[in-house]
A = this chain, B = another copy of it.
Amino acid sequence: MESNKVPDIVVGRLPIYLRALTYLAEEGQSVVSSQDLGKRLGISSAQIRKDLSHFGEFGKQGTGYEVGYLRDQLKRILRIEGRWPVALIGCGALGTAVAYYQGFAPKGFEIAAVFDNDPGKIGQRVSDKPVMDVAELPRVVREKNIRIAIVAVPSTAAQRIVNTLVDCGIKGILNYAPINISVPPGVQVQYIDPAVHLQRMTYYL
């Protein structure tokens, strides 16, 4: 095990491994080799072994990896054994869809609070949660110990709300607004922009 700095690109692959292992566990497969897993993901077996070796020794020579065990270890490494509370900012069409999305809970996240700045929306319920005034962000973030936020506001409002979030102590932001935002060091940002993914494909068509 090398306990130095693990490359971001390696950390970025762990959730992909985890997703595949969770699937295999559901399928009832109890053991998987790096070769099996690699074939499934389009990744070389050497890369999988090297990636995992950053965190420890999880396999058995001649056999491979115990699916459930490796899955749990990856959850531990990624710190998603429990359930992270997440703040959702923006309750328009996109934000509402995010609020109803079923995919977060099984992966270790729950929308703990929903915010908007439209008086017409504040107080209403979305996916069984009350929409709160953005002004309440600092209080709620503190009270619920929220460290991650999902930004689903219009592009024009994105940087402003991100600044607010950072001030509230948010350390991870998942940004659905199709715009680059800037954050201070130590704050993680990930982007979801489906159009960008489509544009990555057209070059090859």
Contacts and interface: CB of A to CB of B under 8 A. Distances in A.
Contact of A205 (B19, B93, B148, B155): B148
Interface in A162-205: 171-172, 174, 178-180, 182, 188, 190-205
A103 B202 contact: no
Q: How large is the interface on A (under 10, 10 to 19, 20 to 34, 35 or more residues)?
A: 35 or more
Interface stretch (A60-68, A75-83, A113-121): A75-83
Contacts of A93: 97, 100-102
Contacts of A132: none
A147 B182 CA distance: 35
A179 B94 contact: no
A69 interface: no
A18 interface: yes
A79 B202 contact: yes
A174 B190 contact: no
Given A148-B198, A172-B201, A190-B197, 8 more contacts: A15-B195, A16-B180, A19-B178, A80-B199, A93-B100, A98-B194, A171-B201, A172-B198
